[in-house]
Amino acid sequence: MIKDASVDGVITSPPYSFAIDYAENDRPQLEYLWFDVDKLKNEMIGLNGRSRKEKLQRYFEDMNRVMSEISRVLRIGKYVVIIIGSNDIQTGGIRLENKIKEFGNLHGLNLVREIRKPIKGIRNTMHEEYVLVFRREE
């Protein structure tokens, strides 16, 4: 376990487990490495649930806990950078970057910069991603 207020910075890009089943996608490689894929799926952020709605709800619960843990381990005055795409089609119109900002605010992480970056090239349902910079406050 990481000690409280012991980390100087965090950079992460959360998974989109409600939209992409990473464990199933990589099952052959994971099994080759002796992972129990079904057990792993139960531990992954947002992958549990039968419907997309259930998976999305679990994803938000998990990401709220992630933001809480980041806040716990981050030193006061230090930064976390989260890179997240938004795909309102798969989320039923819910903007992922807005949920992450909401969770950050709940846990003492003040949004200090937001950078919108268009995704070019591959045509898919995700057209942009956001770089969200938070600072841990007291």
Domains and CATH numbers, the chain: 7-136 (3.40.50.150)
Residue 31 makes CB contacts below 8 A (sequence gap 6+) with: 37
pLDDT of residue 113: 98
Q: Which residue has the tokens 């419907």?
A: 51
pLDDT of residue 53: 83
Residue 14 makes CB contacts below 8 A (sequence gap 6+) with: 45, 63, 66, 82, 84, 100
pLDDT digits (tens, 9 = 90+) for 16-64: 766 677 788 899 999 999 999 988 888 877 767 778 788 888 889 999 9
pLDDT of residue 114: 97
- Looking at the DSSP bridge assignments, the partners of residue 131 are 83, 115
pLDDT of residue 121: 66
What is the rounded average pLDDT for all residues in the chain? Answer: 88
When pLDDT is averaged across residues 74-86 and rounded to a whole number, the result is 94
pTM: 0.84
Taking the C-alpha atoms of residue 118 and residue 108, their distance in angstroms, rounded to an integer, is 28
Using the Cα atoms of residue 39, residue 13, residue 61 and residue 92 in order, give the sign of their dihedral: negative
pLDDT of residue 49: 76
When pLDDT is averaged across residues 68-87 and rounded to a whole number, the result is 94
The answer to whether residue 125 scores a pLDDT higher than 70 is no
**Termini Cα distance of the chain:** 22
